[in-house]
Structure 1
Amino acid sequence: MKALITLTTSESKRLIAKGVTALPCVQNALEKHTIIVAGGTSNAFVAEELLKIQIVDKTGYTVGIVTKGELGISHSSKKTTPYVITEGQAVGISWKEYLPKLQVGDIFIKGGSAVDHTGLAAVMVSDSTGGTIGAAQGILYARGIQLIVPIGLEKLIPDVRVAVEFMTKSPLDEAFGHKVGLIPMVGATVVTELTALETLYDVEARCIAAGGVDGSEGAVTIAIEGLDEEIQRAIRDIKSFKGEPQVTVQ
């Protein structure tokens, strides 16, 4: 059986969050280790799924944000501090404080700004020292800590490596909003809508189109194929979060 699914950006974020939560490595970390869910609107969905909570203003779970056609920072009045989850429970320690304690089996989750067809992801940073990924990446690489990047196909660009090289060969002079750099996240486990669908269900998934209007800007249309019962299960589950509220600045 083959079916088409169209997802708005918020519906994609919900699906991806469910897919991240279902990853065997994440389930293992939830039971036995620690997960850092760094800032980001997609990560707000991930935190909700991992902790079974609700984050009303997801723009309060991020610093950097793209809104009103500009690169900027969140001015939300409902800030939520990024969660550190140990053995399935949120603990009262900041991610920066826990960072030096990371060990094998722990997981670091960080959203991205761009992904390409090879699965290489990158994140924009306005902080001159590299922001969250600048602080974490050295420790992650040195200790063999798994980095997971939840990212929607709305952020698909032609070539992340070319984009990074272009951005680093000379400084920015002007920008709409904040000036940013672009940091690649080599070796990360990238989770898109396709990864999520193939993790949650025994299906093959392919993105066949993207875009829309009237609230469906950034939407993706995905074809899935598999046994009838798996396709029907996927459709039932997706119907349960169809109409996921748009992430808006509050």
Structure 2
Amino acid sequence: MKAQLLLTPTAAKYLIAEALFKKIDFSKRIYVAYGSTNQIFLEKLGIKFDELYVAGCFTNKSLNVTKSRPDIVVLQNKKKINIKDFDITKDDYFIKGANALWYENGKKHAAVAAADDKGGTFGNFYIKAACRGSKVIIPVTHEKLIPFYTPSSQNVDLAMGSKIAMLRFFYGEVYTEIEAFKELFGVEAKVIASGGILGNEGSLIFEIEGERAKEAFEFAKEANSYIFDKRAEFLY
């Protein structure tokens, strides 16, 4: 069976968050970096937040950094554990979102925006996880698709908000809606269009094929009803 469906940007994140439940071995320790997809993932575990679980995001027509944020979450057996003196090992998971996705030589690649001049989580933690061979997963939606990677630093004269560097991931699995549809429903998915108006800005149109396409179609309708309505204060 073939089906065509629309996912809003938030619904695409919801889809990936759902798929991560099936993909991850929850008996292992899981370091969940800040990010909107990761917030949905954690809320599905019943972990609620008063503030956005993000270090920064593009909102208010600006490149923003949060003034305050919840403590980083590390999980084991689907429960938060004490992260005092936590040091990642090869057996641990590290989930870190991205701000750019592109295809190069038939493979998916990703990069993240860093407003911290020390590199943020990328500089302080990702490199350690990569060096130690941890299980790094980089969830990112096709809303963030760019033509190609352009190295960029904070060395600019003007910025609409925070100055950012775009840091390219060199290790880990880039995990998109394509992988999520396959993980959850065993269907093949491809992006055939994007865009929208009147609340559907940034939406993605997928064509999916497989025995469980109807099930995936119904899931997409449910995902499109998810509302990401957290509020946060930002600084530049």
* TM-score, length basis structure 1: 0.85
Query: In 1, distance between residues paired with 2:54 and 2:142?
Result: 19
Aligned to 1:70: 62
Letter in 2 for 1:84: V
Give the CA deviation at 1:236: 2.7
> Equivalent residues in 2 for 1:219-238 (5 A)?
219-227=203-211, 230-238=212-220
Unmatched 5+ stretches in structure 1:
none
- Runs of 4 or more off by more than 4 Å in structure 1? none
Matching of residue 120 in structure 1 with residue 109 in structure 2: yes
The unaligned stretches of length 5 or more in structure 2 are: none
- SS where residue 14 of structure 1 aligns? helix
Q: Give the alignment partner of residue 136 of structure 1, picking from 121, 125, 132.
A: 125
Q: 1:56 to 1:136 in 2, by over 3 A?
A: closer
Does the aligned pair in 1 maintain the 2:6–2:220 contact within 8 Å?
A: no
1:151 and 2:140 correspond: yes
Give the secondary-structure state (helix, strand or coil) at the position aligned to 1:119. Answer: strand
Deviations 1:175-222 (A, max 9, x none): 111111111111221111111001111211000011111211111010
Q: Does 1:245 align with 2:214?
A: no
2:125 is paired with a residue whose SS is helix
More helix, by proportion: 1
Residue correspondence of structure 1 range 1-250 to structure 2 within 5 A? 1-23=1-23, 26=24, 28=25, 30-31=26-27, 33-49=28-44, 52-53=45-46, 55=48, 60-75=52-67, 79-93=69-83, 97-98=85-86, 101-117=87-103, 118-160=107-149, 163-164=150-151, 167-168=152-153, 171-227=155-211, 230-247=212-229, 249-250=231-232
Deviations 1:23-65 (CA, angstroms, capped at 9, x unpaired)? 1xx1x2x12x20000111111012223xx215355x6201211
Q: Number of aligned residue pairs: give it.
A: 229
RMSD (Å) for aligned C-alpha atoms: 1.9
Q: Could you say if the C-alpha distance between residues 244 and 9 of structure 1 is closer, same or farther in structure 2, counting changes exceeding 3 Å? A: same
In structure 1, give the amino acid aligned to 2:80.
Answer: A
Q: Tell me the TM-score normalized by structure 2.
A: 0.90
AA aligned opposite 1:238? A
- Percent identical across equivalent pairs? 31
- Give the Cα–Cα distance (whole angstroms) in 1 for the partners of residues 9 and 199 of structure 2: 9
